[in-house]
Amino acid sequence: MLFVATAPPLTPSADPSATPTPTPTPGPTGIPSVNVDETVKVVTKTTSDLVTIGWQAGVGAIIGIAIAFVAVAILSFMGKRRLLYREIVDFGRRPAYAVGTMAGAFLGTQIALTGLRQTKDDSTTMAIIERGVTIALIFAVTWLVVAFAKAIESTVVKGVQASENQGRANRVTTQSQIIRRVAEAIIIIAGLVSAIMTFPTVQFAMGSLLASAGLASVIAGMAARSMLGNVFAGLQLATTDAIRVDDIVVVDDEQGTIEEITLTYVVMRTWDERRLILPSTHFTENPFANWTRGGSQSTGTFTLDLDWRVPIAALRAELARLVAASTVWDGRQATLDVSDAVGDHVTVRVVLTGATPGAVGDLKSYVREELVTWLQREAPYALPRTRVEVEQVEVTQDLSAEQVARAAEEIVAKQKAAGADDTIETAADDSSGTTTEVEGETTAHGLGARRAVRLGRAMGRSLLHRARRGGLGPR
């Protein structure tokens, strides 16, 4: 059960226009009761204030977005003649609408709050609405300023890329990217600090924080030493022009094209479409090769191992014909020379030039394939080969197989006679045991004679066959 309590009398210092706050009064049971009439009045007044602030802020937002639309239309018309205006429209269209909307809403809210403050004191609701609209406006302005930075960078890059100096274009592109990223970081940090500083308690805390900034900066620097090192390395790369966007570099035996340079890392695209993410300090602390540092022109070579009979003049003329018909040769150099002539072949070196390393690679593959095809078709004798020279053995007398066998029989007979003489001499000394030994030797000599005869006949036939084939003398 609710008990209605009368409002306390106004003191002289009280604001008669202020909305009375319902005061709970204790009931018979000790439970506080609420003045329903006063509560309804408070809710009604608060709702009325919110409606007033809402419709005035909405009207201001509509007016602001209309003004932003007109400004964008004017810039689009002017962008037909100026690149900067066109880039501002491309990057800043949505941020401009956001700023117009929030600026109109902020002005409408301020007008509404000014009228309400004339009749009542500030309430928590009014403070929350005012602070929320202010923070939203700060974020919208931050977004618009970042878009302006991007538009300026795009204008500078497109303007320099329209020139014929590709090296200067790459350098300006790299430096513009670094400067734009630094500016974005500063703008975003400033926007966040501005939004936080709208809170009164934070303003007091910021004073204490600035007082201890020396020690905090030392601690933060030690904790973020690696990140800060990459940041300063990125700035060094941008200012010293060591690498630029679209440069072709070789890093740790990996060849690729610089695709993006940030404050902390570098993106390199390899030939097989991989992306290598390298910290900025890698390029300031380690050596690397930059093939396009002084220009994009490149020179390539390859060699061919050919036979000693290769027609150098004709091969050189074919090279001239091939490069003249190629669209990737830049006309600077196309030479063919004998770089080595040792052993069983000669080494021919071909030197080619092109506008870019990629063009040189394509030209080398094309010329190599065409020269091999020409050699196979026009000069097959120039293809590499291995030679073996066999010395000729002259035979003064061509023996037949029968003659070789007869000579072998004569040798065996002489061996038999010599063996018989030895047997007779030893028989006088030892007559008791010589009979068995002489018979064994005679049998062995007989077997050896037959083997010698067969071997001689086989050797004779082999020599005769080789002689007839021309391996040992004239046929």
The per-residue pLDDT for range 375-426, each reduced to its tens digit, is 999 999 988 888 777 666 565 565 666 776 777 777 777 777 776 666 665 5
Give pLDDT tens digits for 67-90.
999 998 998 888 888 888 888 888
CA distances from 369 to 302, 321, 361, 362, 363 (A): 12, 14, 13, 11, 10
Task: Give pLDDT tens digits for 19-43.
Answer: 444 455 554 455 555 566 677 666 7
Give 311's DSSP letter. -
Ordered domains of the chain (ranges, CATH): 39-198 (no CATH), 204-293 (2.30.30.60), 298-379 (3.30.70.100)
At 55 the pLDDT is: 83
Instruction: With 0.75 as the threshold, say if the pTM is over it.
Output: no
Which pLDDT score, from 0 to 100, does residue 440 have?
Answer: 46
Give the mean model confidence (pLDDT) for residues 300-325.
91
Length of the chain counted residue by residue? 475
- To 5 degrees, how large is the angle CA 195–CA 201–CA 204? 100
Q: What pLDDT is stored for residue 94 in this prediction?
A: 92
More confident residue, 190 or 208: 190
Q: What is the largest CA-CA distance in the chain?
A: 173
296 dihedral zone (left: phi>0; alpha: psi -120 to 50; beta):
alpha
353: pLDDT strictly greater than 60: yes
Q: What is the pLDDT of residue 118?
A: 72
pLDDT at 438: 43
Q: Where are the beta strands (DSSP E) in 3-88?
A: 25-26, 32-33
- Segment 288-302 shows an average pLDDT of 82
Please check the confidence at residue 109 and state whether its pLDDT lies above 70.
yes
Q: What is the DSSP letter of 20?
A: P
For residues 434 and 250, the model is more confident at 250
Instruction: State yes or no: pLDDT of 215 exceeds 60.
Output: no
Please determine, for residue 322, whether its predicted confidence score (pLDDT) is greater than 70: yes
Q: Flag whether pLDDT at 12 surpasses 50.
A: no
CA distance linking residue 301 with residue 267, whole number of Å: 29
Structure tokens at 301: 């070579």
pLDDT at 372: 93
Say which residue, 172 or 429, is predicted with more confidence. 172
